[in-house]
A and B are shown apart, each in its own frame.
Chain A
Amino acid sequence: MKLSIHSVWIMSQITIRQSVRDKTVFLLSFLFLILVLVSAYLGWSATNTVNAIYLKTAVFLAANGLPVPSNPVLESSPLVLLRNMNTYVSLIGALAAIVLGYQMVAGDRKAGVLPLIGSRPIQTGQFALAKIVAVSFVLGAVLLIASLINTLTFLLLPAFHLSAIEWQHLIAFYLASGLYMLFFGLLGMLFSALAKNESIALLVPVTLWLTLTFIFPQLTSSINPMASLNPLSATAAAPTSAFFHYSTLILHPISMVEVYRTVSAQLLGFQPSTSSTHSLLEGFLQLGGGVLLLMGASIWSITRMDMSKGDYSE
């Protein structure tokens, strides 16, 4: 049987519609978008405060005949304003993506529609592809709204003028965020198809997310869990020791949260000079590779689902 793009698109449309109607997905996506707004406000407010502190300090230093250092605000890119986006995408963005991916497959399993789909002349591969198209579409739409909020922020704040290269960096940041969220969406999808138990289907990807977010940074860079929430300290360099050298060597290729944080810190211009030296291209390749790997795994897990039964055991 040939791959029917039309069938795939119809199934994707249905899944997208179901996801948009799902209150949980809506709530998490809404929370994410609220945090995008909060991030812009926090960035603006904190940057203004640092600027005001600098001006006061400059007066004090000049009055005491001391040299006045340059303003740290002017030394950084205006994109630094969005540094909290790095934390919100890696926290709530990833969690929303897991729930979305999980719901797209689990919803069908719980509703008992799998035997119906199995009885129709539809290849399970097409069904799997439709789910992947749907998760990519919904995540893309959420990120598009987020990027519009950020674009408006920069247009409304003329003091933070972006150059052409900075606009390109902003687009690349959203591309990296899209790959990162898709990675977690596919993770949710993979386990919702693979698990026999509904609770385990959600618990495993959430546990993996917690491991990647809070445990891996400790092993590779000795970054404490709450420090992972601060965009600046989350990109700190690892202590110079054999243990951290080898743990980074082993874990970095799969440490998606760290890869994303490094890529976004480079793109938004707030990466400390002492931090990781991994290149942007390397980061994008890792994110893309992770997504491709999980796409394959998701297609495999969805196609091997028992279409005569489908529902979870508990």
Chain B
Amino acid sequence: MNSAGKNVWIIAKKEIHEAFHNRFLLIVTLFMLLASAVALVTAAIALNTDVATYNDAKAVLLSLGKSADMIVQPEFYPLRLLRGFIEHIEILGAVLGVLMGYQAAATERTHKTLPLLLSRPISKRAILFGKTLGATVILMSGLALIFVAIGLLVDVTSSVKLTVSDSFRMGIIYLAAVVYSLLFFLIGFLLALHTKKLPNALLLGFAVWLMLVLIAPQIGDTLDPDNQVAGGVFKQLHIAKPQEVEILKSFATYETVRTSIEALSPTKHFERLSFAVLGIKDMYNGMALSPVLKEKTVDMYWLAGLLAGLLILLMKMNLNFTLLNKE
């Protein structure tokens, strides 16, 4: 390892060491684990309720001498239980990222150590890259712990063992979750490095989190005409899918605006990719992995592109030394 690489690794190790002593991050990680476990268990209970209802209805039909084909049998795919878990990653993974990014800069600003560090023979890029590398390792470890625990819990709650293919799909989403959380780390880090007052950086970070994670997807979702009426507008009007598609052609501009608002949010790209790969969305259920990944290339490019963009911004923006001495 050359000297620059060594410096990067020293900074990263320091970040990892600090993270393990940080109560704040530990609480958020444990909270995310708890929330994910609750999501999984309640999903399993809801599914068991559906199965019990189906079995009761089937027994009634059979006792009346009728065919059980009249009712739809609930389908069971263990990965579909992960919907709530993925949504918790969307919300809390982003919170974890923002907090970590804030902490990475705040510790240096409050201790006034960054200007001192920069007076040593170490480049600004090595420091920033080292901190980002440290955060990547921390996020990978925290999310690995959560994904393994949830994988084991799926086995327990569903009494169905995950196949190698299921685990591989979860592995892909684990990597996407790391990239997704890292995006928010970079947002929190950039804000805490460049905001005049440090406490404002955290609240600005939360404001960005609100806009990207909650508000933008919410606007896209609630503008969907089918979400305006309980049960769906087309269902209420008794319109079949082909006619629905035909009618919606007249609202192409509206749909473009709606989907563009959604596309602004990295959360929506992470969700689209995860729901497709894990088969949470009906149309991808039972589909082979490669065509799913091919179809979701755009979402992967979005996440990778945003990450690259934020990294470039981090490296290119000038650090204001007077600012770094201030809390």
Candidates A47, A199, A232; contact of B230 at CB < 8 Å: A232
Flag if A243 contacts B45 (CB, 8 Å).
yes
Closest chain B residue to A92, Cβ basis: B210
CB of B148 closer than 8 Å to a CB of A? no
Of the four ranges (under 10, 10 to 19, 20 to 34, 35 or more), the interface on chain A belongs to: 35 or more
How many residues of B are in contact with the other chain, CB < 8 A?
59
Indicate if B218 sits at the interface (CB-CB under 8 A).
yes
Cα(A58)–Cα(B281), bound, Å = 31
Chain A contacts for B52, CB-based, 8 A = 241
Establish whether residues A28 and B203, one from each chain, have CB atoms under 8 Å apart when the complex forms: yes
Q: Decide: A232 and B206 in contact? CB cutoff 8 A.
A: no
Q: What residues of B have a CB within 8 angstroms of the CB of A72 in the complex?
A: 228-229, 233, 236-237
- Could you say which of B88-96, B150-158, B162-170, B288-296 contacts chain A? B88-96
Tell me, in angstroms, the Cα distance from A206 to B166 when the chains sit together: 34
Asked whether, in the complex, the Cβ of B200 is within 8 Å of the Cβ of A199, the reply is no
Judged by a CB distance under 8 angstroms, whether A24 is at the interface is: yes
Identify which of B34-42, B174-182, B314-322 touches chain A: B34-42
For A60, what are the chain B residues with a Cβ–Cβ distance below 8 Å? Answer: 239, 243, 247
Residues of B within 8 A of A95 (CB): 206, 210
Q: Is A207's CB within 8 Å of the partner chain B? A: yes
Whether B43 and A99, one on each chain, are in contact in the complex, defined by CB atoms closer than 8 angstroms, is: no
Task: Find residues 41-57 in chain A having any chain B CB closer than 8 Å to their own CB.
Answer: 42, 45-47, 49-50, 52-54, 56-57
Provided the pairs A72-B229, A72-B233, A84-B222 are in contact, do residues A219 and B42 lie with their beta carbons within 8 angstroms? Answer: yes
Q: Tell me whether A230 and B221 are in contact in the complex, defined as CB-CB below 8 angstroms, given that A23-B200, A47-B228 are known contacts.
A: yes
Cβ-based interface call for B15 (8 A):
no
Q: Is the CB of A69 within 8 A of B236?
A: yes
Task: Decide if A35 is an interface residue (CB 8 Å cutoff).
Answer: yes
Chain A residues 184-218 with CB under 8 Å of chain B are: 199, 203, 207, 210-211, 214-215, 218
Q: Nearest chain A CB to B89's CB is how many angstroms away?
A: 10
Contact A46 B217 (CB under 8 A): no
Known A-B contacts A27-B203, A203-B27; the reply to A53 vs B233 at CB < 8 A is: yes
Q: B48: which A residues are within 8 A, CB to CB?
A: 241
Judge whether B10 is part of the interface by a CB distance below 8 angstroms. Answer: no
Note all chain A residues with C-beta closer than 8 A to B115: none
Task: Report the separation of the CA atoms of residues A210 and B46 in the bound assembly, to the nearest whole angstrom.
Answer: 22
B24 at the interface (CB under 8 A from A): yes
- A residues 220-247 in Cβ contact with B at 8 Å: 222, 224-226, 229-233, 239-241, 243-244
B225 within 8 Å of A (CB atoms)? yes
Complex interface residues of chain A between 279 and 309 (CB less than 8 A to chain B): none
Residue of B nearest to A83 (CB): B222
Contacts of A57 in B (CB 8 A): 234, 237, 239, 243, 247
Some 29 contacts from A to B, beta carbons below 8 A apart, are A27-B203, A28-B203, A31-B210, A42-B223, A46-B222, A47-B228, A52-B251, A53-B233, A54-B233, A57-B237, A57-B247, A60-B243, A61-B237, A84-B218, A91-B215, A199-B24, A210-B91, A218-B38, A222-B42, A225-B39, A229-B214, A230-B218, A230-B221, A230-B227, A232-B228, A239-B46, A240-B49, A241-B48, A244-B49
Where the two chains meet, the residues of B that have a C-beta atom closer than 8 Å to any C-beta of A are 24, 27, 31, 34-35, 38-39, 42-43, 45-46, 48-50, 52-53, 83-84, 87-88, 90-92, 95, 197, 199-200, 203-204, 206-207, 210, 214-215, 217-219, 221-223, 225, 227-231, 233-234, 236-239, 243, 247-248, 250-251, 254, 271
Given contacts A215-B34, A229-B217, 15 further A-B contacts (CB under 8 A): A24-B200, A24-B203, A28-B203, A42-B222, A46-B225, A49-B251, A57-B234, A72-B237, A95-B206, A214-B35, A225-B35, A225-B84, A226-B90, A244-B45, A244-B49
The 8 closest A-B pairs by CB, nearest first: A241-B49, A225-B87, A272-B230, A229-B218, A222-B46, A24-B203, A226-B87, A50-B228
